[in-house]
Amino acid sequence: MGRRMLKKYDGKKQGWLRQGKELAVFIILMFVVFRFIIGVSLVNGSSMNPSLKNGDVVVYTRIVPNYESGDIVCIRMPSGEYYIKRVIGLAGDTVEIRDGSVYVNSTVREENYAQGRTETQGDSIKYPYEVKADRVFVLGDNREESMDSRTFGAVAKSQIRGKVLFSFSLPGHK
């Protein structure tokens, strides 16, 4: 009778150990995935309206060999804040803003996602603006409400945390 109870106890112990190991592997795997492959961020503000709304959750990939014009990216600013913006100009491109439109390499961009007129912001950025190596020029889709490369210039690729894969709204959030 004592051996049977001992075996039963050992079986439960083995079950708990196996579950503990599986949980540890899962936690380590999730850490690796969210540290090196996938990131999650909240949209804060209206600068990406109508594409992304305040409070939307964005999921982005950290593994991007090259960014393309039109990509939506998550940027970590020197202040530590995270911005979600759209890539407009790449290294070597010349960006110009005039007559409410954006020109890249002297060609007007078709931007059916943009909201509001695109105007320059302040005098710190001179146009035409040449995007330097390892940098990208970014704008928010809500041009009248966005602080972006028109204010702080092109951002270093090293500041980009990743390219947005998809977004969703939390239940009950407008």
Domain boundaries, the chain: 1-41, 43-168
- Annotated catalytic residue 132: no
| Region 62-82 average pLDDT | 94
- Annotated catalytic residue 85: yes
Mean of pLDDT over the chain: 90
Contact of 91 with 158, CB cutoff 8 Å: no
Q: Which of 137, 168, 162 is nearest to 51 (CA)?
A: 168
Catalytic one among 47, 146, 149, 167?
A: 47
Distance CA 33, CA 16 (A): 25
The pLDDT tens digits of the residues spanning 92-118 come to 999 999 999 999 999 999 999 999 999
Determine whether domain 43-168 maps to CATH 3.90.1490.10: no
Provide the whole-model pTM.
Answer: 0.84
Catalytic one among 8, 13, 53, 85?
A: 85
Report residue 174's pLDDT band, with 50, 70 and 90 as the boundaries: low
